[in-house]
Structure 1
């Protein structure tokens, strides 16, 4: 059976998921939807090879979600509340998959009335080339877990059967999100403030000292196991030439997800009565950088 997937959000990850799943993509602007239609779909570039996938594009405010089997949200966490009215138009029995960084959106998800809600983390690296093209810069996995409800067996099999673009089911959504939050909370703010690629955090001795101390603080708050440093280092090594999403946001003068990522860690630390001084300093630095260009 062919399942009908919709992707809300046409940034780098949205274009990647739409292109690799052959999904309908819902864009913020009419202009981007028109560009995708004119191009005949989404172009995925990997190692210099271009693959164009026929994808239908629709401005999200003109969307009709009646005939979809799954809707995937790849927008930033702070953009979700602005989509509340759009999400209410999606039939309550249609499963929703949210792929936001951090954990700041979880409380908001509780307010939705949909029967089945999934949350996930993305390990892929992607860079938006233009409104209809994306570069697949790192192959990883999409980890997902049930936040509420149950996923129909056929749709589960469809997701798990994606060769070359694997989906991995996790039994504990909180553990899954906290594992990714550790990486995002340490790598993203540091690279954003320092203006460096991920690899610099482990290859520059001075940066590494901060990386290790900051990582220890965050791992303690998130109660991660003793292998946290090994995993963090491996991620930085594997993505050494990449800029983190937050570093890119700062360089391109966009709003970051610092509140959903490091802000969430600081809130947890306060609940636990723990010191999170390095987190608070880096949080203030990123907010300060945003304040220089956001009105």
Structure 2
């Protein structure tokens, strides 16, 4: 299958590496420089003590024409508004789009897209981009995908062409898989970024654990989640499985980058406002992260 991957961050590089074994991959980068670097050096994957390189086609995003069978969008949610107009204008009648963003804020934009097939997914792998063509695979997990619009034929082809070390599961309900990932992100990302700790510390430190439980209860109340014990057990499991990992939000804050807090806690606050519910903890941690992002020069 011909697959285009928009975005050459950690997840874009990771998917390009693993999917290249059985698919024809083209990765679309933000800059011409990065495309040329990947084109000449390939994508390098570091997994523990092992390093491997694969060759893929790499071109700048402005050259994307929607000619692939499936295009996977791996950019962060706050970058979507700049590429959605291009996706709307260029997609063909047989193509399909798979969105792999954190949070659920992007759902409000999808109805405007003309693509005949739109898919949504969540990624459980841990990955970090070490440079413009190198990604470190820090933790294994499962990628769950589901249909938002149209037929599932391209998703079935994707699932059938993956390898054991990079499994992809076709699910029935996109809302369920996004909610599960959203709840995990709502707890781990803002708390680790605020306290500047690894994921496992949220469980091992009894004082942080109390905050985890309080924030979890507020969020599941707002989202009207019924199977709370299952979701809480999942949050704890992710913390334990990725105990030494730093969350993406913690890394973004440390590097002075914009975070995905609007896509994560921002979505929960929108739901709270819509339902006229109080969300004091969610407001506090949302503002804490926005405060860490704050740059005075942006307001001069």
Q: Same-fold call, TM > 0.5?
A: yes
Partner of 2:272: 269
Partner of 1:12: 10
Distance apart, 1:169 and its partner CA: 1.2
Distance apart, 1:84 and its partner CA: 2.4
1:21 aligns with 2:9: no
**Equivalent residues of 1:199, 1:241 under 8 A apart:** yes
Per-residue CA shift, 1:114-138, capped at 9, x if unaligned?
1100000000110111111111111
Distance apart, 1:178 and its partner CA: 0.7
Of 84-93 and 244-253, more deviation after overlay is shown by 84-93
Of 9-18 and 223-232, more deviation after overlay is shown by 223-232
Distance apart, 1:229 and its partner CA: 2.0
Distance 2:120 2:296 in 1: 31
Give the gaps of 5 or more residues in structure 1: none
Distance 2:17 2:139 in 1: 15
* CA distance 1:294–1:245, change in 2 (3 Å): farther
Partner of 1:242: 245
Partner of 1:38: 40
Distance apart, 1:222 and its partner CA: 2.1
TM-score using structure 2 length: 0.93
Question: How many residues end up aligned between the 2 structures?
Answer: 290
Distance 1:194 1:139 in 2: 25
1:71 aligns with 2:66: no
**Equivalent residues of 2:159, 2:170 under 8 A apart:** no
**Equivalent residues of 1:255, 1:294 under 8 A apart:** no
Distance apart, 1:293 and its partner CA: 7.0
Per-residue CA shift, 1:215-250, capped at 9, x if unaligned?
111122223313222211111001111111111111
Partner of 2:86: 86
Partner of 2:201: 200
Per-residue CA shift, 1:180-232, capped at 9, x if unaligned?
10000111111111111111111111111111111111122223313222211
Distance 2:156 2:265 in 1: 32
**Equivalent residues of 1:160, 1:166 under 8 A apart:** no
TM-score using structure 1 length: 0.94
Give the gaps of 5 or more residues in structure 2: none
Where do residues 172-211 of structure 1 align in structure 2 (5 Å cutoff)? 172-211=173-212
Distance 2:83 2:18 in 1: 24
* CA distance 1:220–1:206, change in 2 (3 Å): same
- Divergent runs of 4+, >3 A: none
Aligned residue for 2:294, secondary structure, equals: helix
